[in-house]
Amino acid sequence: MADSPQARAADFIWQTARVLEQRRFAHHFVPGGADTDGVEKALDAYRNADGGYGHALDPDLRGPVSQPLHTAHALRVLDSLGRCTGRRAEDVCRYLTAVSNPDGALPAVHPSLRGYPAAPWLPVPADPPSALLTTAPVVGLLHRNDVWHAWLFRATDFCWHAVESLRRSHPYEAEAAVAFLDHVPDRRRAEAAADRLGRLVRAERLVLLEPGRAGAQPAAEGHVPGEHHHPHDYARRPGSLARRWFSDAEMARSLDFLAANQRADGGWPVAWRRWSPGAELEARPMATLDALLTLRAYGRL
């Protein structure tokens, strides 16, 4: 197994990753390495007194202050540990309540980030609008873990209205919508909304169905040339509603591309625009973990 994709990824992780990603890798892929407490302790280094998470947990937002994007990432980690419940979830909901807009939803970037570096595509307005991009994944994960809090009611209503009103979108927003629809309790409504969203994603060409012809398909608005979403980016697990958007052949091509995209150093590249060497260095182990987890979910490891 020394030259297997997983072994080469392990070498990359141990050489380059932050402590959090090293512990996450051990939890998911090292036999006997499932140190759940160790992962949670590493995540605690990014936690703030307000219940949110900061300190560049998402590498594209620097600085110590709590941000919705950081907190959404923290919830994904806690969910993978089965610990997105109890006091931890209550503290997160307290933070979400404090930074939400009057409609109950989250901005993409909270103004508290002003003065700290951030990726150029994440501006810091003084009065940021509510964003499905940040609100939907958080709401979906809280529903997945049967968390009930007053914040969830209006935020869920916001997500339903935003998803069902979409006439145009961009790949990251559509991906966020899937994270909501995969876990919201009203399953019949979610399936209907997901079906319509899938038709929109295909009609607007927000997905690259033939990786070998990437140069022939323009990138989505605001993306750099070559920055595409693939079927596996929407359907990260076979049970996702987004899996129904793609044929078996389309999904197989997507997973073939993902497996082949592992670099010589054992890691996967980031798919988005590079703006800072440090941010890219921290993001690649995260991208590598995501790739491994998706490939394993589809039986490709």
Express each pLDDT in 105-130 by its tens digit: 999 999 999 999 999 989 999 999 99
Residue 244, C-beta contacts closer than 8 angstroms, at least 6 positions apart: 194, 195, 198
Which structure tokens are listed for 46? 């990014």
Residue 225 has pLDDT above 90, yes or no: no
Residues 175, 236: Cα–Cα separation, whole Å: 10
Residue 1 has pLDDT above 70, yes or no: no
Does domain 36-267 fall under CATH 3.90.1690? My reply is no
Contact between residue 115 and residue 63 where contact means Cβ atoms under 8 Å apart: yes
Helices 19-29 and 277-297 sit at what angle, rounded to 10 degrees? Answer: 10
Contact 16, 284 (CB under 8 A): yes
> Is 0.75 surpassed by the pTM of this model?
yes
Within 8 A by CB and 6+ apart from 247, the residues are none
Q: How many angstroms separate the CA atoms of 61 and 45, rounded?
A: 16
Domain ranges of the chain: 1-35+268-301, 36-267
Contact assessment for residue 71 and residue 65, using Cβ atoms and an 8 Å cutoff: no
pLDDT digits (tens, 9 = 90+) for 28-77: 999 887 789 999 999 999 999 999 999 999 999 999 999 999 999 999 99
Q: What is the mean pLDDT of residues 278-300?
A: 96
